[in-house]
C-alpha cells in the first residue's frame, strides 16, 4: 500500500542521526516490547508480514510521532484484539474480563533459546525456474497495491540490473493477508542513484533492493 511509512528517498524528513556505539535498546521498556513481540509470535496467530502491514495501517500522524518500539507496541495491541487474545477493555484496564479464559503461554522460559535460534525468516524450498539471471537488466513494476508490499515507491517503474538471486522465499504480499505463502525467487537488484532520483544524484552511488520476482519485468 502507499502510505507515510514508505518514505524512502523523500525530502524533508531530517538528517539520519548516526549514534556511535548505539545500544541495542535505549530504554528498558524497549527490551520488554521486543520480548513481548517474540512471545506473541509463538501463538502463530499472525506472521511477520501481517505484523508489518499492521504498522503501515497506523494513522500518519501517529506513525511520524511514534518511536520504533512504540509502533511495535501499538501493532501488537491491535493484533491481540483482532485475533481474540484480549479485549480492548482488558488492554485499557489491565484486568481480565470476568468471563475470560486463562490461556497457557505458547512460549515458556525453557523454549526461549530455541525460539531465538529459529529467527523470523524462513527460506522456502528451492524449485521452479528463475525468470531473471545475474547481470540482466530489469524494470521494477509500476504498481500501487492496496495491501502490503515490499516494493518501495521510489523504485517503481525504474530500470536496474539483477545482482544475484537469494533463493526462493515466502511472498510477503500474499502472506500478510493470509492468502498463502506463494514462495518465489527473491533477487537483489542494483539501481543507480541517478536512475532513482535524477541527474542531481551522485553518479557514483547505487542502491541494492531485494525484489521478489513478481516485482520485476523484462525490458
Query: What's the pLDDT at 141?
Result: 98
Residue 82: inside a domain: yes
Q: Are 155 and 133 in contact (CB under 8 A)?
A: no
40: left (phi over 0), alpha (psi -120 to 50) or beta: alpha
Dihedral pair phi/psi, residue 159, rounded to 5°: -100, 135
- Full domain range(s) for residue 44: 28-118
How far is Cα 171 from Cα 183, in angstroms, rounded to an integer? 5
Which pLDDT value is given to residue 168?
93
Query: The pTM is what?
Result: 0.90
Burial class (CB in 10 A: 0-12, 13-18, 19+), 6: middle
Identify the pLDDT of residue 26: 96
Q: Are residues 107 and 159 in the same domain?
A: no
Residue where a domain terminates, one of 118, 149, 181 = 118
What CATH number should be reported for the domain holding residue 150?
Answer: 2.30.30.50
Question: Radius of gyration (Cα) for the chain, nearest Å?
Answer: 20
* Residue carrying the nine cell digits 497495491: 145
pLDDT at 121: 59
Q: Are residues 109 and 143 in the same domain?
A: no
Arithmetic mean of pLDDT over the chain: 93
Residue 15 C-alpha cell reads as 538528517
141 and 193 both lie in a single domain? yes
pLDDT of residue 126: 60
pLDDT under 50: residue ranges of the chain: none
Which helix (H) or strand (E) segment holds residue 186: the answer is strand 184-192
Residues 155, 111 share a domain: no
pLDDT of res. 129 = 82
Per-residue pLDDT, 52:
97
CATH of the domain at 72: 1.10.472.20
> What pLDDT score does 105 carry?
87
Amino acid at each position: 500500500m502507499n502510505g507515510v511509512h514508505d518514505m524512502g528517498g523523500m525530502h524533508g524528513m531530517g538528517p539520519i542521526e548516526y549514534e556511535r556505539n548505539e545500544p541495542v535498546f535505549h530504554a528498558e521498556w524497549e527490551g520488554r516490547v521486543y520480548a513481548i513481540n517474540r512471545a506473541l509470535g509463538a501463538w502463530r496467530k499472525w506472521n511477520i508480514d501481517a505484523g508489518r502491514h499492521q504498522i503501515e495501517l497506523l494513522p500518519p500522524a501517529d506513525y511520524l510521532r511514534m518511536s520504533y518500539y512504540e509502533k511495535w507496541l501499538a501493532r501488537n495491541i491491535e493484533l491481540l484484539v483482532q485475533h481474540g487474545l484480549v479485549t480492548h477493555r482488558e488492554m485499557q484496564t489491565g484486568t481480565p474480563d470476568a468471563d475470560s479464559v486463562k490461556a497457557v503461554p505458547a512460549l515458556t522460559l525453557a523454549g526461549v533459546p530455541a525460539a531465538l535460534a529459529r529467527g523470523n525468516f524462513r527460506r522456502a524450498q528451492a524449485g521452479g525456474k528463475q525468470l531473471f539471471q545475474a547481470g540482466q537488466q530489469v524494470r521494477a513494476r509500476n504498481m500501487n497495491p492496496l495491501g502490503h508490499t515490499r516494493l518501495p515507491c521510489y523504485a517503481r517503474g525504474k530500470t536496474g540490473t539483477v545482482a544475484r538471486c537469494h533463493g526462493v522465499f515466502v511472498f510477503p504480499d500474499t502472506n500478510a493477508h493470509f492468502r498463502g505463502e506463494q514462495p518465489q525467487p527473491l533477487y537483489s537488484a542494483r539501481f543507480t542513484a541517478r536512475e532513482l532520483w535524477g541527474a542531481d544524484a551522485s553518479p557514483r552511488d547505487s542502491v541494492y533492493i531485494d525484489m521478489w520476482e513478481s516485482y520485476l519485468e523484462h525490458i
